[in-house]
Amino acid sequence: MSVAPTLDYEHRFLGSGARLLAGIDEVGRGAIAGPVTVGIAVVDLSRPVLLDDVRDSKLLKESDRERLEPLVRSWSVASAVGHASASEIDAMGIIAALRTAGTRAWLQILAAGVTPDVVLLDGSHNWLSPETQASLFDDAPAGPGCDAPVHTLVKADMQCLSVAAASILAKVERDRLMRTLHTEFPAFAWNENKGYGTASHKEALRAAGPTPYHRVSWQIL
């Protein structure tokens, strides 16, 4: 079993006056079907409480993720999950779609009456903050977004409990959605591959052609 993530890294932000920290992670970025999904788990750094058994969602069995998901929600000060659909990914590109999904989750947090002071984002690129100037390749709709300071950390989902918790929320909700979509298009076995480009998924795609849930702008064959 991997080393359990802690709140040690998150506590560094207490020195700058932050109290509410939003851990954020995404799932589905590399899939060829289904949405990209962003989870947020907000923690109160002044009341540090660890949560047993939480790991990066990729390291957990599906049954463990399902068991932990309600515990993560009750442990968090606030939590949310946002999606951007395959058609939105096709229309605006994956980075803008990530921002759209993240913004949808962020607005849920604000609507719950919680305003995080700082964000900890898994990875090396801040795809969450609104662009100060839209690029030629970024068609994400203008509007309110995350205005809190965003800090990125590679492999934050492995060492930071807030981000690992967010990864579980995102993974569980996206997997449930893919199982629902599987009932509409069972030939693609989304209940098993969750929209990722397995050999059997691509074989079914060649035989039947793309569905409305495939990212047709990608080279998916």
Neighbour tally for 215: CB within 10 Å: 24
Neighbour tally for 21: CB within 10 Å: 29
d(CA 82, CA 39): 7
Q: Model confidence over 30-55: pLDDT tens digits? A: 999 999 999 999 999 998 787 877 66
Tell me the pTM: 0.90
CB 179, CB 191: distance < 8 Å = yes
d(CA 198, CA 188): 10
- Mean pLDDT, the chain, whole residue set: 90
Is residue 140 scored above 90 in pLDDT? no
Which amino acid appears at position 60 of this protein? Answer: L
Phi and psi torsions of 145, nearest 5° = -150, -165
Q: Name the DSSP class of 2.
A: P
